[in-house]
A and B are shown apart, each in its own frame.
Chain A
Amino acid sequence: MKRHPLLCLVLALLSPHAPAAVHTVSAGQSILAAVKQSAPGDTVRVMPGTYVETVYIDRDNITLQGVMVGGERPVLDGRNTLKDGILVAGDGVTVEHFLIRNYTANGLNLQGVNNFVVRHNIVQDTGIYAINPELSRNGLVAYNRISGVWDAAIYCGECMDVDILYNEAFGSVMGIESQTSQNVLIEGNYVHDNATGIAAFLIPGVSRKTTGNTVIRNNFVVHNNRANFAPPDSMPGLVPEGVGIAIAGYDEVTLEGNQINGNQSAGILLVDQATAFGSNFALDPAQDPTVNSARIYSNMLFGNGGEPLGLVAAYLADSGLPRGPDILDADPTSAGNCIYSKEAWFAVGVDHWSLCAQPTATAVASMRLAAPIAPRTWSDDQLGRNTWVAVCSACHNENGYLIGPPVARIQQDFVGAPEALAAWIAAPTRMNADFPPMPPQDYLPEKTRLAVARHVLGLQPKAAANTPPTAGSNVDESGN
């Protein structure tokens, strides 16, 4: 069927969103420049090559996609001088198929983000964290290979509703850390040769105060015996060495189906916050420092504890035990914890634990939400009214004269012409000598400007209560 070109134009104009565009970046070009050119819904495809830059994504629904050609993938390289590889502050962002290396702060940082996907990336030697969603919600971190950072390779900080699946995390102080988070699934990861393999930490001094519902399942957690190479005065400087899975202060962790082998201090370690962090850092009066409601179902624990170090060694010295345990609860005040069997493994400090009831957490398929978190939707009326109040009311008033002209005057000047008013707002020209010129409001999207123009033309002004200000009026600034 042949469409009429005019009809197509009309349909395009009526459509609320422009069609998603694809921007291609080739070696020698800037990824950041392409991101800045993109609109929500767009994809930025990056061809193989080495890109020495920091890319920040501050708009929503952008896909940043590396393209593999002939076995080569695009490389973001900080040359050990740039701080961050990719900083994400937009919702609904996907980052995939990159090699990110040699940054000094973070490889891929997401802060305050909803609905994120990070997958199929290789991240090497990126300073503190490699992939770190923080204060973020509803996301997936999967199929990444990460190594060589002095905190956690994958760090989920004050997160909620996140799946961390099928990654390889090694050669770092921690492989995977869930920090003061809620609803996290850590599954199917290969976590080896870190100081501690997987950590669930309740960290003091942050805005979240509680933790919970975290499932660590079917991971391979082996040979995490690396010397801790974090700065000794930093928080990760306190992370124990030789531990498979460490839980400090964090509640409601379920462990099942993990292979936890060859970790020389202990397979699983549970401690209170004071023992873990109290030597160097203030605890938080609003947090409960003990581990509660941990559930340890069947896991394969073998060959752990052969050569204990650090706080596990100190515990053993006090208790006279011959070697490090598979499972150690170093906090006698922990409560509500349960274990599959107290006799299947060398488990220490679990006398006060109960035996776990069924069911296990196998039925948990994902911690992500069934649908993306939607932005709050404002109708055009709400958008117009709220923008008027939030922005315009600083200078304009329905009742009379404030700084700019009153509503009645605006209505006279733009009667029946909201489009003209919307355009004028973005690039104002002086219309009245009685008033100071208006600053351009071009940061407001066109849709917002039109909505606010319609709103102001539809207001019912009250009688003007005063007269316009004259130039040169005294400014009364008391106390100055």
Chain B
Amino acid sequence: MPGRRLGRWALLCCLLAPAAICRELDGAEIRLSEDCPPGYLEREGRCHLVSLYDQYASFTGQGGLRAALPPPARSYTAAQIDLGRYLFFDPLLSRERDMSCANCHRPALGFSDGQARAMGRDPAIPAGEPATGRLLPRNTPGLWNIGFFRLLSWDGKRTDLVAQSLAPVFAADEMNLDAGELARRLRQSAYGALLARAFGKDERYRTLPLVEQAAHALAAFQGSLVSLNSRYDYYVFGANDALSEQELRGLTLFRSFDTRCSECHTPPLFSNQQLATLGVPEPVGKPFDSGAQAVFGREDLRGAFRIPGLRNVALTAPYMHNGVFGQLEDVVKFYADGRGNSASPAEALKIHWHIVHPRLDPQQQGDLVAFLRALTDTSHMPRIPTSLPSGLSISAR
């Protein structure tokens, strides 16, 4: 099966990628890349994403096999993107200098963390003492294709990737820095010079404070995490045997209105970027999460959450806003069990109208899972730094 072969090689490419970089960083000095990341073309000094989806005229930008992508919010230079890569992996951004963005957004796990819910920090522990974990209320979202999204947080509160990038840095129960301390650390480390190099001549950003420039760098890097070369995409671009018979059956179910999967998870991003109440159960002992209700102050959005994209979804288990489902099979079964099957009668939720009563036998549920696994592509995996401008080591917690 040629499709399977392609997938295996794509994986091999990713695993080998970091090796090339070790050499790039020989010597003490950090040198920001002058080259746009894979998938980007330099034009007038900035990196612009190029995708084979650009060939297609779009309507709403969503739906069907061959639709255009929504435009990214901003464009950045190669150096800005590369600087974001260092910041993303640097524990300097946490109070105890032991937690980077990548601690929870792990590259090999679709930039999620493999945990049901994110593990933060107890902010009450005094500085210098061993940190104690604190379980956060929601699942760590994966980051592939995040640059296309306007709805970023589960509850719909965050809509700008630049602002979102520093939210965990400043959160008391996550990385727990404040803006003043972050600015001081950036200024007093090699980041001061690197930020000046990356942003100092850029009319758009050069007058911004260091902290905001760092936020832009983090957004620039995350925007470069683009996944549009899966076997599904090969099928879209004309390879009729890129998907197996089972995966094609899964695609046919995915777009059937019996399931209505594709109406919310609209290609090519596999999200229509809306909020929806599904009636997902909470894990035992966890109180009901009101989701978007708290953000928008609307009773009818009680329990509504962001509809995530499904690219690389096979890598980001567990699933849903609270990580209640360990495997894709569990997620598909949840939908197959029908509208409202796990919703608390006490909540009287307004479950989204696309949540229906599909008729899916076990084989069909397996077909859907097989299709979801065909959405995996990490060929544009960024290179992971081997040394950091802060001098800190990249540590796993």
Contacts and interface: CB of A to CB of B under 8 A. Distances in A.
Given A128-B257, A160-B59, A403 B65 contact: no
Contact of A394 (B38, B237, B340): B38
Interface residues of A, number: 85
Given A135-B60, A403-B20, A480-B106, A278 B300 contact: yes
Nearest to B267: A112
Contact of B276 (A109, A205, A477): A205
Most chain-B Cβ atoms within 10 A of its Cβ — which of A91, A385, A394? A394
Interface in A330-362: none
B90 to A, nearest CB: 10
Given A282-B298, A385-B41, A403-B20, A390 B60 contact: no
B63 A397 contact: no
Nearest to B357: A231
Nearest to A109: B257
Contacts, number: 240
Interface residues of B, number: 93
A395 B379 contact: yes
A389 B50 contact: yes
Contacts of B63: 111-112, 134-135, 158
B309 interface: no
B9 A439 contact: yes
Given A394-B39, A469-B20, A442 B239 contact: yes
Most chain-B Cβ atoms within 10 A of its Cβ — which of A112, A440, A475, A480? A112
Contacts of B350: 280-282
A120 interface: no
A105 interface: yes
Contacts of A386: 41, 50, 52, 54
A160 B59 CA distance: 8
Nearest to B231: A443
Interface in A224-274: 231, 233-235
Contacts of B56: 375-376
Nearest to A480: B108
Contacts of A205: 274-276, 352-354
A281 B353 contact: yes
A207 B274 CA distance: 7
B19 A87 contact: no
Given A443-B237, A469-B19, A479-B396, A437 B9 contact: yes
Most chain-B Cβ atoms within 10 A of its Cβ — which of A84, A91, A207, A233? A207
B107 interface: yes
Contacts of A135: 59-60, 62-64, 266
Given A282-B352, A391-B52, A439-B10, A112 B65 contact: yes
A111 B9 CA distance: 32
B12 A235 contact: no
Given A375-B55, A391-B229, A83 B256 contact: yes
A87 B353 contact: no
Interface string B1-30: 010011011101101111110111000000
B337 interface: no
Contacts of B266: 112, 135, 207
B296 interface: yes
Interface string A89-102: 11100000000000
A91 B106 contact: no
Interface in B302-322: 304
13 contacts: A59-B238, A83-B252, A84-B258, A113-B64, A208-B60, A282-B350, A283-B300, A285-B301, A376-B57, A390-B51, A390-B54, A395-B379, A438-B9
Given A394-B380, A475-B15, 16 more contacts: A87-B252, A89-B64, A89-B255, A134-B263, A158-B63, A278-B300, A281-B352, A282-B301, A375-B55, A376-B54, A376-B57, A390-B50, A436-B12, A436-B13, A473-B19, A478-B102
Closest 10 CB pairs of A and B: A112-B64, A443-B239, A439-B9, A135-B63, A473-B19, A112-B63, A443-B234, A282-B300, A478-B394, A105-B258
Interface of A: 36, 54, 56, 58-59, 83-84, 87, 89-91, 104-106, 109, 111-114, 127-129, 132, 134-137, 158, 160, 203, 205-208, 231, 233-235, 278, 280-283, 285, 373-376, 378, 385-387, 389-391, 393-395, 397-399, 401-403, 436-440, 442-445, 465-467, 469, 473-480
